[in-house]
């Protein structure tokens, strides 16, 4: 390939090698699971917590994120055909779709507190500084430096996770907006994690047949004969329980039995219920959202309080790291997310809402189209803030007739000149 000016401007960059990698080399055998998949911390891998994380991550990943071009008013004009857009919506890498990568990104962010989205293969234009991202992956932040960050990232060339040190200005570092609730050591989710772990320990003890009983006998156990008698009595009760089909035993009416772990289990269960309800409240979640029976009002509140801040955190960082300063300052391009405000609304109601907004001169037709992620119409009337149902004034009608007359005369003169 000749060393032309254009080829010198564009330079391939790879997060692992900073050059075109050699042929495929695999160390060891294959895997029975996908090694590139992000896995939750063991502490977070609890039924309640993993269900909350998964629900939020799935709903956040369902929102479309696009690299877009803006009009002169800073509004959405069209979607840019770029590598970034392809990674976010079509294919993020050889293993993941765009949506799959977004799901891993949000799930990891909720679990870790902060994650790195790394452009792995990039075409860098040295003249403009623009990056054409060919592939990207979600990485785990291992160490922080003043200008760099060390990330654990899956290398598809070797089939292994590796640690690489990368400049911060080339990596999107996305922090969980609910960090204080979910990731702080004394946050609600971390307290709930510890209580769930304690419940597991209690369940294991009960499952192992360990009851932790204290038997109060009707005599003082101090002398050796009484101690021997007490041990024999304990053995009798253990034999009854071991030989009973349903774990039932009898005691003397003068004996008193106290189960030590019962009160502890009840207290832990109450704490789990309290912390679960608190987590739901702080994260804007309800049991109806978790089981899929929430109405549109509850879902709207959940999307505004929970989903939108999470998606905005990612979009803002993409905009800051993956667009040049010139693109941001000129407001010619941006990264936007599009949440369908009518997802839970019947089609008939959507048409009614659009009609009311345009008829009452709240939004133009193009503003309505742009709000739901549709390209604006090129019809000049679509940018007019006016009620289409009100008849035009006589002055407006006369002006339109004059414009039509001038246009007709211009066409006739042009035809006459051509035939001249």
Full domain range(s) for residue 257: 188-288
Domain count, the chain: 2
Structural contact between residues 332 and 69, judged by C-beta atoms closer than 8 angstroms? yes
Domain finish residue from 132, 161, 182: 182
Q: Residue 15: what pLDDT?
A: 78
Give 175 or 370, the one with higher predicted confidence: 175
To 10 degrees, what angle do helices 260-283 and 47-61 make? 10
My answer on whether 162 and 284 are in the same domain is no
Structure confidence by residue, pLDDT tens digits, 31-52:
666 777 767 775 555 678 999 9
User: What percent of the chain stands above pLDDT 90?
Assistant: 41
Average pLDDT of the chain is: 81
Residue 397 placed within a domain: no
Q: What is the mean pLDDT of residues 316-336?
A: 91
95 shares a domain with 200 = no
The reported pTM is: 0.71
Residues 146 and 241 in one domain: no
- Asked whether residue 103 is assigned to any structural domain, the reply reads yes
Say how far residue 420 (Cα) sits from the centre of its chain. Answer: 69
Task: Kindly report, residue by residue over 335-388, the tens digit of the pLDDT.
Answer: 999 887 666 666 667 778 888 888 888 888 888 887 766 788 888 888 888 776
Report if residue 134 sits inside a domain: yes
- What is the per-residue pLDDT across 126-168, written as a single tens digit (0 to 9) for each? 777 788 999 999 999 999 999 999 999 999 989 999 999 999 9
Task: Decide if 385 is inside a domain.
Answer: no
Do 14 and 126 have their domain in common? yes
Question: Are residues 166 and 18 both part of a single domain?
Answer: yes
Domain termination site, one of 288, 314, 341: 288
Cα distances from 83 to residues 145, 157, 324, in angstroms, run: 29, 20, 15
178, 193: one domain: no
Tell me the pLDDT band of 393, cut-offs 50, 70 and 90.
Answer: low
- For every residue of 373-415, DSSP letters joined together read TPPPPS-GGGG--S-TTSPPPHHHHHHHHHHHHHHHHHHHHHH
DSSP-derived letter for residue 23 is: S
- Of 271, 288, 305, the residue that ends a domain is 288
Residue 178 in this model has a pLDDT that exceeds 90: yes
Shared domain check, 134 and 9: yes
The highest-confidence range among 69-78, 356-365, 370-379, 410-419, by mean pLDDT, is 69-78
Q: Hey, which residues does 333 pair with through a beta bridge?
A: 69
């Amino acid at each position: 390939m000749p060393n032309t000016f254009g080829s010198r401007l564009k330079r391939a960059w790879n997060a692992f090698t900073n050059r075109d990698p050699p042929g495929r080399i695999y160390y060891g055998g294959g895997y029975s699971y996908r090694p590139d998949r992000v896995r939750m911390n063991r502490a977070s891998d609890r039924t309640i917590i993993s269900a909350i994380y998964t629900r939020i991550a799935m709903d956040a990943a369902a929102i479309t994120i696009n690299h877009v071009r803006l009009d002169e008013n800073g509004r959405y004009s069209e979607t840019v055909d770029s590598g970034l857009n392809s990674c976010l919506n079509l294919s993020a890498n050889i293993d993941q779709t765009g949506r799959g990568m977004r799901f891993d990104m949000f799930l990891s962010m909720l679990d870790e507190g902060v994650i790195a989205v790394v452009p792995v293969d990039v075409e860098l234009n040295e003249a403009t500084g623009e990056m054409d991202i060919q592939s990207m992956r979600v990485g785990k932040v291992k160490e922080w430096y003043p200008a760099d960050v060390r990330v654990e990232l899956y290398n598809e060339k070797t089939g292994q996770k590796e640690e690489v040190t990368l400049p911060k200005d080339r990596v999107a570092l996305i922090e969980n907006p609910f960090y204080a609730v979910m990731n702080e050591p004394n946050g609600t989710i971390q307290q709930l994690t510890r209580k769930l772990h304690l419940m597991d320990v209690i369940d294991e003890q009960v499952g192992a047949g360990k009851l932790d009983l204290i038997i109060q006998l009707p005599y003082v156990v101090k002398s050796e004969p009484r101690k021997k008698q007490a041990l024999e009595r304990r053995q009798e009760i253990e034999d009854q329980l071991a030989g009973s089909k349903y774990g039932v035993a009898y005691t003397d009416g003068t004996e008193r039995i106290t189960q030590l772990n019962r009160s502890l289990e009840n207290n832990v269960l109450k704490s789990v219920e309290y912390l679960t309800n608190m987590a739901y409240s702080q994260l804007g979640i309800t049991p109806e959202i978790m089981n899929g029976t929430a109405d549109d009002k509850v879902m709207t509140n959940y999307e505004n309080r929970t989903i939108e801040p999470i998606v905005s955190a990612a979009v803002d960082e993409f905009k800051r790291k993956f667009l040049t300063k010139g693109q941001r300052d000129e407001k010619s391009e941006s990264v936007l997310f599009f949440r369908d405000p009518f997802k839970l609304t019947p089609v008939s109601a959507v048409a009614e809402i659009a009609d009311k907004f345009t008829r009452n001169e709240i939004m133009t037709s193009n503003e309505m189209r742009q709000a739901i992620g549709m390209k604006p119409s090129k019809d000049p009337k679509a940018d007019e803030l006016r009620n289409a149902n009100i008849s035009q004034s006589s002055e407006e009608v006369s002006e339109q007739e004059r414009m039509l007359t001038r246009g007709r005369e211009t066409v006739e003169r042009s035809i006459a000149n051509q035939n001249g």
